[in-house]
A and B are shown apart, each in its own frame.
Chain A
Amino acid sequence: MNIAREIFWPLVAVLAAFVVGGLIILLLGDNPINAYYLLLSNSFGSLRDIGWTLHYATPLIFTGLAVMVAFRCGLLNIGAEGQLYVGAFAAAWVGIMFGGPFFNSIAQQEENWSWVSLPAFLLVPFCIIAAIAAGAVWGAIPGILKAKFGSHEVINTIMLNFVASAMVAYLVQYHYKLPGDAIQRTAPIGDAAHIPKINEYLTFLPHDVPLNVAFLLALLMCALVYVFLWKTKWGYELRAVGENPSAAEYGGISPGKQTIIAMTISGALAGMVGIGEVLGKEHYLETGFSAEWGFLGIAVALLGRNHPLGVLIAALFFGVLLRGQIFVDAFTPRVSKDLGWVLQAIIILFVACFQIYTRSKGAKVRA
């Protein structure tokens, strides 16, 4: 059966990674069964666990979709990390400059940095559009560079990641930080820019769970990306370039144009990470807030076999690991939460290796 074939190798990769990880835990002098029990059993036991797991999965759904869309066009977007930073900063910037007065917790006084104070029904969409647009622009740059100059998107997106994090660090440190704040973060965004947490609707969900409506947006995006790629003419053209650029060109589709479109959409999806993190959870932007989500998006897309449903499942699985590693850290004598990193790395490595068995169909990254 087709579905069985799709999930076979990702499953083998995950199991193999757990075996290797188990050997490492044994070598460190700890009990792998205990560590894995802690890692996997703390994600679904209670409503709080489920809420946190879904929260951890949210940014990975966005970045997984971002990497996936580019990959379907034959492009490897290593730049989701930079795109999400730029998007998150844009959301925070709009939230500060149009958010009205806020309480400065350092100076202990009410302040107002904003030009105009917008009401929530205007401010929230404005912040969201800013995040998406900024991510899209940051993604479009390597797309244009590839289409116009033929320079490779992998190198350019790596370089743009560093440029994005340096730029955001500069803007935070020199322009948008509360004077005297020891943490490198922006001033708080206006209250009107906050988006609701899920526990405001589902009041039985514990109040400390930061899961917010960005998760629902992520689910919506899975559906939209599916419809776009497989049910529209534009999606067909984008995939045609990924499958075979010269055949697509012969059929009247411009690979350059599709490259720019794919990278723009990819960047926009990555930029959406800022919606959940800035508008939903923290209500400010802290430099270095992303735990390499952009790069994990590559793992999510690969493990999810470059399909939106697969991306969703893979992101939830990584959410489980991110939730569980905290308990491994706390309740094993020797294993720290870095076990999560190691397992993720080994999973990526195995998935990449096993592609040799599954590569026959679908897009292949263009050199």
Chain B
Amino acid sequence: MNEVFTFALIFAAIRSATPLIFAGLGGLFSERSGVINIALEGMMLAGAFTGAVVTYETGNPYIGFIAGMISGGLLAIIYAVACIQFEADQVVAGMAINFLMIGLPSLISGAVYDSAGSTPQIDKSNLLPNFFNSLSIASILAFALVPAAWYVLYKTPFGLRLRAAGENPGAADAAGVRVIGLRYVAVVISGLLAAAGGAYLSIGQSSLFTISMTAGRGFIALAALILAKWRPIPVMFACLFFGFMEALTIQIQGVVKLPSGEDIPVQFIQIIPYVLTIIVLAGFIGTSRAPKALGIPYRKEN
């Protein structure tokens, strides 16, 4: 077992947790304001694609990272207009955003680089830098954002209003909170953060964008958000746990065997976050209560 539980595993867990923390915090802002965010996956893909393209074209990963975030923010505006202005079903609109990001990156990359499957390889020296051997600057940023998100949500007037918009928008409105405006801001923050997670995947962990490279991480982040009962610090721990699981899956390949001498099927570990979420939602392990007004469009009464 000592071959498995090493420092390398801890670093691998942090690397795997990084995109989840970005997306999880993103989902946190949106959902605490009352807007479900099933579109995290699509927003991550936007960041991953734009991040890779801009980094490849400019040779600067920081510009790429910021451009990736902005693309997520722009996508979030489309999502916000659909959900808030048009009161579209948030789950359906979210799925549409995810669909769009399956197709659009390949469509663009097929037209521009003549390869629909992926963007060109970025030179290794132009990727986001690592510290202490293998700790990305993006990982440090992700962990730094956790207390920042906590502070913003719980210690600022903005955070108080945002949470009020998600719990009781009618009362918040009566108290002078601009619910609609707040929800727009929250969804855009959500897009910026989720896209940062995506950008880390393409220009930090990897060196190019490939179709659907987020591989369900947006949904794992959503699961982490639910397990964490929509609170920032627990979101980090839930993401770390899922990151650890992912790292472990890779690490035990060919090392740890079942008593029968066979490899442990990776699928058994992969499903843990999903099964855990179902169990927690059913109330078998504590209760996870969503913000009260989650998913309900707000219409100002005159």
Chain A contacts to B: CB under 8 angstroms = 24, 28-30, 76, 78, 145, 148-149, 151-152, 154-156, 158-160, 162-163, 166-167, 169-170, 173-174, 292, 295, 298-299, 302, 334-342, 344-346, 348-349, 351-356, 365, 367
Contact = CB atoms under 8 A, between A and B. Distances in A.
A123 to B, nearest CB: 29
Nearest to A24: B107
A336 B219 CA distance: 27
Contact of B99 (A152, A162, A334, A341): A341
Interface string B91-108: 111011101101110111
A160 B270 CA distance: 12
Interface in B258-285: 265, 267-268, 270-271, 274-275, 277-278, 281-283
B103 A345 contact: yes
B107 A342 contact: yes
B95 A167 contact: no
Given A149-B283, A166-B267, A298-B95, A159 B102 contact: no
Interface of B: 36, 38, 78, 82, 86-89, 91-93, 95-97, 99-100, 102-104, 106-108, 110-112, 116, 216, 219, 222-223, 226, 265, 267-268, 270-271, 274-275, 277-278, 281-283, 290, 294-296
Contact of A162 (B96, B106, B112, B216): B216
A170 B107 contact: no
B103 A348 contact: no
A29 B102 CA distance: 21
B91 A78 contact: yes
A272 to B, nearest CB: 22
B226 A155 contact: yes
Q: Across the A-B interface, give the 8 residue pairs with the lowest CB-CB distance, nearest first.
A: A341-B103, A336-B110, A345-B100, A345-B99, A352-B88, A348-B96, A353-B86, A151-B281
A162 B271 CA distance: 7
A145 B278 contact: yes
Given A149-B281, A348-B95, A338 B104 contact: yes
A9 to B, nearest CB: 12
Contacts of B96: 299, 345-346, 348-349, 352
Most A Cβ at <10 Å: residue of B36, B87, B226, B267: B267
A253 B146 CA distance: 47
Contacts of B283: 149, 151
Interface of A is mostly: helix
Given A154-B91, A160-B274, A345-B99, A335 B296 contact: no
B259 to A, nearest CB: 16
A338 B110 contact: yes
Nearest to A168: B267
21 contacts: A24-B104, A24-B107, A149-B281, A151-B283, A154-B36, A155-B281, A166-B270, A167-B271, A336-B107, A338-B102, A338-B103, A339-B103, A341-B100, A345-B97, A349-B82, A349-B100, A351-B92, A352-B92, A353-B88, A356-B86, A365-B89
A169 B267 contact: yes
A156 B91 CA distance: 13
B222 A155 contact: yes
A162 B222 CA distance: 13
A352 B278 CA distance: 27
B97 A145 contact: no
Contact of A355 (B88, B102, B226, B296): B88
Contacts of A174: 265
A295 B38 CA distance: 13
Given A352-B93, A356-B88, A163 B103 contact: no
A173 B222 CA distance: 28
B103 A160 contact: no
B291 to A, nearest CB: 11
Nearest to B116: A336
Contacts of A30: 111
Contacts of A154: 36, 38, 91
Given A349-B78, A353-B88, 20 more contacts: A24-B104, A24-B107, A30-B111, A152-B281, A159-B274, A159-B275, A162-B216, A162-B270, A167-B271, A336-B106, A338-B116, A345-B100, A346-B96, A349-B96, A352-B86, A352-B89, A352-B93, A352-B96, A353-B93, A367-B294
A76 B265 CA distance: 32
B107 A339 contact: yes
A15 to B, nearest CB: 17
A302 B93 CA distance: 11
Contacts of A353: 82, 86, 88, 93
A298 B89 CA distance: 12
A152 B219 CA distance: 15
Nearest to A352: B88
Identify the interface centre among B78, B100, B116: most chain A CB within 10 Å of its CB.
B100
Contacts of A335: 107, 110-111
Given A166-B267, A344-B99, A352-B93, A156 B281 contact: yes
A318 B78 CA distance: 24
B149 to A, nearest CB: 22
A29 B295 contact: no
Contacts of A24: 104, 107
B14 to A, nearest CB: 23
A349 B274 contact: no
Contact of A28 (B99, B100, B102, B108): B108
Contacts of A78: 91, 95
A155 B107 contact: no
B210 to A, nearest CB: 13
B164 to A, nearest CB: 18
A148 B278 CA distance: 13
